[in-house]
Structure 1
Amino acid sequence: MKKIICVAAVASSLVGCASIVNDSSQQIRVETKTQTGEMVAGANCKLSNDYGTVEVKSGNSVALHRSNKDFDITCVHPSNPDATARGISRANAGLAGNILFGGGIGAIIDHNKGTAYTYPTWIQLVFGKTLVFDRSAEKEGQPVAPVEPATASK
């Protein structure tokens, strides 16, 4: 019986906490609006990070592979100038749980898989502007408030 418990304990320590709690990808809601605040659906948007590029029409959500690297997004619409932004990646609670309870192995696994990080979940780009969206400013049920690029820091 002790052998089974030991094997289970060792095996569970090799799996990252964030890997259990989080998928390797995350849904991000992308919206676009004019500088006067009018919502514009249907713009062609491309989100890119170190795992690749995904496309989505504004007004919809898309799955983006999680990473410790930020993502860049550009939305193009024929009636408006391009809208660009950066989404800041932040460590999530799974990484902290690994460090506190699981030790370094789980933290390394989750870091390498990207599951230890989370992006802003709802962003609204503004045509003609370059913005930064930081997950640390996220409030449930609301789009993340953008910050100007010069004021954003990791």
Structure 2
Amino acid sequence: MYLRPAAAVALFASLAGCASLTESTDQNVLVQTVLDHREIAGVGCVLYNDMGKWFVTTPARVTLRKSAGPLRIDCEKTGKGWAYEKVDSRADANIWGNLVLTAGVGIYVDANTGAGYDYPSILTVVMRPAQDKEDGPAPAAGVTLF
């Protein structure tokens, strides 16, 4: 008699911890670019991770697919500046619920779908002046954005 309600509570508790079931795999972010401590508009940027690639002209919002992996951002405005940056995703609160409630199975699912991870909601890309690119070799991709 008490077994059925207890089983229902256990089922709902385990589902509450799984971000894949309770959260979207998409995230809306604002991308803005800064050069010499001032916002610069009209910069073309490509954002990409292991889930896809998105194009944006800053400043703008873009909906991208979340991932457990990093988000790469490549931006350039001819004659003005350029940037290559990397943003790491962070596990959200639901990922820890998965560890406790699903014995780790939910973490594996969330890592594969990206649902248990988030990028910062505002991505401020610091541009380098265009002449810096001409003075030396192209920088290594993956400079970490703070």
Common topology (TM > 0.5)? yes
Larger radius of gyration: 2
**Match of residue 42 from structure 2:** 42
- Counterpart CA distance in 1 for 2:92 and 2:33 is 26
- Residue 48 and residue 56 in structure 1: after superposition, are their counterparts in 2 closer, same or farther (change >3 A)? same
Matches within 5 A, 1:51-66: 51-66=51-66
Residues 13 and 101, structure 2, Cα contact 8 Å, conserved in 1: no
Deviation at 1:60, TM superposition (A): 0.9
TM-score under structure 2 normalisation? Answer: 0.76
- Counterpart CA distance in 2 for 1:15 and 1:100 is 11
User: Is the partner of 2:37 in helix, strand or coil?
Assistant: coil
**Match of residue 28 from structure 1:** 29
- Counterpart CA distance in 1 for 2:106 and 2:17 is 4
- Counterpart CA distance in 2 for 1:21 and 1:11 is 11
User: Is the partner of 2:128 in helix, strand or coil?
Assistant: coil
**Match of residue 75 from structure 1:** 75
**Match of residue 108 from structure 2:** 108
User: Is the partner of 1:98 in helix, strand or coil?
Assistant: helix
The residue identity in structure 2 corresponding to 1:125 is V
- Counterpart CA distance in 1 for 2:121 and 2:84 is 16
Residues 13 and 105, structure 1, Cα contact 8 Å, conserved in 2: no
Runs of 5+ in structure 2 lacking a partner?
130-138
The residue identity in structure 2 corresponding to 1:132 is T
Residues 14 and 106, structure 1, Cα contact 8 Å, conserved in 2: no
**Match of residue 133 from structure 2:** none
The alignment status of 1:84 with 2:84, answered yes or no, reads yes
TM-score under structure 1 normalisation? Answer: 0.73
Pairs aligned (count): 133
Q: Which has the higher contact order (CA 8 A, sep 6+)?
A: 2
Runs of 5+ in structure 1 lacking a partner?
134-145, 147-154
- Counterpart CA distance in 2 for 1:97 and 1:15 is 8
RMSD: 2.4
